[in-house]
Amino acid sequence: MHSYGSPLYIYSKSQIEFNWNLFEQSFESHPHLICYAVKANSNIAVLNILAKLGSGFDIVSLGELERVIAAGGDPRKCVFSGVAKNENSIKKALEYGIYCFNVESEDELARIEFVASSMNMTAPISIRVNPNVDANTHPYISTGLTENKFGVGSDIALSMYKKASSSTHLKVCGLDYHIGSQITDLSPFLEALDRALELIEKLKSENIFINHLDIGGGVGVSYNQEKTIDIKEYLNSVIERVGSLKILVEPGRSIVGDAGIFVTKVEYLKQNDLKSFAIVDGAMNDLIRPSLYDSHHQAVLIDNNSRGINDEWDIVGPVCESADFLAKNRNLTLEKGDYIAIMTAGAYGFVLSSNYNSRPRVAEVMVSGIKHSLVRKRETIESLFENEILFEDETH
């Protein structure tokens, strides 16, 4: 920590590799493509580690696609998800030769066809079907219900497949669904799978055949010792149901979640009649999950000591919001200058960070065995306003 400053994200190369290989080994000889969900952690060092393993990537923006390519990833192994693809991003994705577009609406299908036609190309497409399955997760990360903005219902999907199969500039490749994130129960996944397979049978009756089924991501990780999904059991259950159909899967959190920690330093200890606060240098702009989702991360004291004050602490940051906390009601023995590790912070940590309160975003470090190195420099205060321009009013 002393070399890199605080606050700080630290990632484990070996844990990233271990988690990815859990998926790879579970497929055994079944045809598949693992497309890591870049939105979970998009540092190019992380992407490079996965690219070297042979991973594909699930992207939701042109920026993510360019990151993958800069990191050595293969665009031909990329699936392009997201509800608001513009013409430029579709054009660039076609030029790069991506594996498939996951199409989220009728308008988007028409736009992809238009762009492909203007380029005299054929766009590979998969329709994202909304199976209307409750994933029993936080409403902000639930994506498989009719009330969510993602995907289309099966009736609309069937109509879209018919249009796509009759187009000379669209190629039907697959069917896609993704019901949410941080799911710790297998049953919603299997319910969604059964509904997808019903639609695939309907497509066959219309002489529309797909090459792959994309089962999305969403496998939860253990933030507070809770039981989660056994990946091998899950994928074996999928393989048993799909026959010889190629499977695509889009893990994100389950690859990087437990491979990262957020380290923060205690600046002050503050106690009153009701509460004890450990005021740290990390804040909600660095790790927003507790404030946004009321999520629980374990808080572990680094270099455990018995010299400080033992109490039940709220770990809070410097941002001027009462929602600025990293953990609440944690029994720790603390003194000023201690470092606290916020655990399981490798997913949706740095990628959701901001410059709120004009705070520079933190550094990121990768660890492999005894080796460690900087994989993203800490921002400077000057960098925060380097793209801003003073307004000169000529009337005064």
Strands 276-280 and 260-271: antiparallel
Return left, alpha or beta for 180; rule: phi > 0 is left, psi -120 to 50 is alpha, else beta. left
Q: Where are the alpha helices (DSSP H) in 166-210?
A: 186-205
CB atoms within 10 A of CB 84: 11
C-alpha–C-alpha distance, residues 9 and 42, integer Å: 13
Relative orientation angle of helices 13-27 and 231-242, to the nearest 10 degrees: 30
Report the candidate in 228, 302, 310 with the shortest Cα–Cα distance to residue 262: 302
| 320 is an active site residue | yes
Amino acid in position 177: Y
Given the residues 35, 78, 100, 320, the one annotated as active site: 320
Whether 292 contacts 140, CB under 8 Å: yes
Amino acid identity, position 392:
E
Per DSSP, the three-state class of 262 is strand
Query: Residues 347-382, buried b or exposed e (16+ Cβ, 10 A)?
Result: bbbbeebeeeeebbbbbbbbbeeeeeeebbebeeee
Alpha-carbon gap, residue 9 to 19, rounded angstroms: 19
Bridging pattern class, strands 363-368 and 8-12:
parallel
Give buried/exposed letters for 167-179 (b at 16+ CB in 10 A, else e). bebbebbbbbbbb
The DSSP bridge pattern shows strands 32-37 and 56-59 to be parallel
**Residue positions annotated with a catalytic role:** 320
